[in-house]
Each structure stands twice: as structure tokens, then as C-alpha cells.
Amino acid sequence: MSTISSFETRDHAKIVYELHGDPASKDRVALIHSLAMDHNYWRPVAERLVKAGVCAVALDCRGHGASDKPKGPYFASTFAEDMNELFNHLKWPEAVVGGSSMGGSVALAFAARHTHRVSGLALIDTTAWYGKDAEKAWADRATAAKTKGLASLIDFQLTRWFGDAFKAANPDVVKACVDTFLANDVEAYAATCRMLGEFDQRVSLPHFKMPVRIMVGEEDYATPPAMAEDMNAMIEQSTYRVVPGARHLTPLEVPDIVAEEILATLKATRG
């Protein structure tokens, strides 16, 4: 059971979201997708969470999917405030927040700004800082998208998203990701790339006291295990898991394991 709806933010941007499961459930999870994806990215994981009695919301971040695409620049703090307003709209005082790649970075920004609303964090294939060369690397990607088109980035993305065996066995999943990627607004994509190049939430990590579970694919080249290890070292109540053979989009590649980590985060919040 799921419903798609929307709300309007403080700056009059429409944000679309999908609510999965029973809205009356006290087990609540908010899910934030990877760069250039949308709420459908989380559907395999959400289906597993619903079977466990969870109510899960997955949004289209601004600039993505069916949500509005206001002119940039974009900031992680803006995306975090969108999450806060989503919680207000749903009348959720707090929830476990799960984020993948870009979504994990947004989850960190949200937790830093609205700690009382985050009962636990599930950080999937993500980082608090993309590194000393990040600003240039992300700016170069934004420029490539604008000058050569999004299609020029597909081969680069596919090598990072999934391993060869998964791509061969799941062409429908691969096609859905490619179609979603190509449907992006180029200006919004470029603004989000620049946002990630400037992202640095490391200073907040030692202050997180909620349960945090960190998971990364063993073969993740986009946000490699070393980045996850750095976060784990800086967060007092965190666990760290490497998934053998997995790459960057683990919510699609190994949804059972990702759902397991999110449910374990929920369980830790009760303990």
C-alpha cells in the first residue's frame, strides 16, 4: 500500500513524496535517494520495510523527479530544511532517516540541523566529505552534463552503480536507472553536483548521539569504504558494515541487506 502526494515548501517549491505502509505505524523511516534518482529508487527497500510494519516515506528531492526544480545554487542546508518541512507536513515528530549517496549527505545535514527529529541514521554508500579535490571534480561533472549532455555520463555512471554480474542479471533495473538519470533537468543536476562538491559535514559527526549504522559496498568507487570508515571513527554510536561484491547503488543491488540495516537502526532506537 502506497500513496503519492506533495507539499509546498517555504520558498514555494513543490516536493513530491511516496508514503508506504500504514500511516498509523509508530515505526517510521524517511528515505532520501541518490543523485539523479527519485523516490522509486527506494521501492524495493520500502516494500521490505512495510512487511515489517514500518511506515516509510521516500521523497523526490528538489531538482529531482516530479518535484520542482528551482534555479540554483543548491545547498545541503536547503535540502535539509525540505526534510524538516516534510516531517511537519506528515506530522512526524521524529523518525529514522536513511540516505543513499547524496541522500546520506542530506541525511547528515538534516541530523545536524534538526537532531531532535532524527531518532536514528542509516547511512548507505555515502560520506560526510567528498575529499580535497571534490569541488573541482563535481564542477567538472556539472560542466560535462551541461556541455555534452547527460547521455555522455551514462558509461561513467554504470561502472560505478553496479557490478558486471548484477548488470547482466538485472537489465530492467539498469534500464530504469538510466531512464531516470536521462530524465533529469540538466541545470538542476549541475546545481546538485556543485552542492556535493562543497559538502562537508565532518564537524557535526562527533556530536551525533543517536544510533547510526553505516553500510557500504565493497566495490563502491564513488564513496569508497575508506570514507565510510572515516565516518564510523568520528561517530560515537555507529556500526560499520561492508557488503562483499556490492557497488554504489546497494538499495537496488542488495535491498534485503539495506532493509536489514534500517530495521536494525529502528531496533536500536528502542533500546
Q: Where are the domains of the chain?
A: 2-270
Angle separating helix axes 255-270 and 43-51, nearest 10 degrees: 50
Smallest CA-to-CA distance from 187 within 216, 145, 220 is with 145
Residue-wise over 124-135: b if at least 16 C-beta within 10 A, else e?
Answer: bbbbbbbeeebb
Q: Tell me, what's the pLDDT at 271?
A: 75
Low-confidence ranges of the chain (pLDDT < 50): none
- Can you tell me whether residue 222 is helix, strand or coil? coil
Given a contact cutoff of 8 angstroms between Cβ atoms, the answer to whether 124 and 251 are in contact is yes
pLDDT in tens, 117-140: 999 999 999 999 999 999 999 999
**CATH number of this structure's domain 2-270:** 3.40.50.1820
Q: Tell me, what's the pLDDT at 77?
A: 98
What distance in Å separates the CA atoms of residue 11 and residue 76, rounded to the nearest whole number? 15
Q: Tell me, what's the pLDDT at 203?
A: 98
Q: Tell me, what's the pLDDT at 1?
A: 82
What distance in Å separates the CA atoms of residue 148 and residue 169, rounded to the nearest whole number? 30
What pTM was estimated for this model as a whole? 0.98
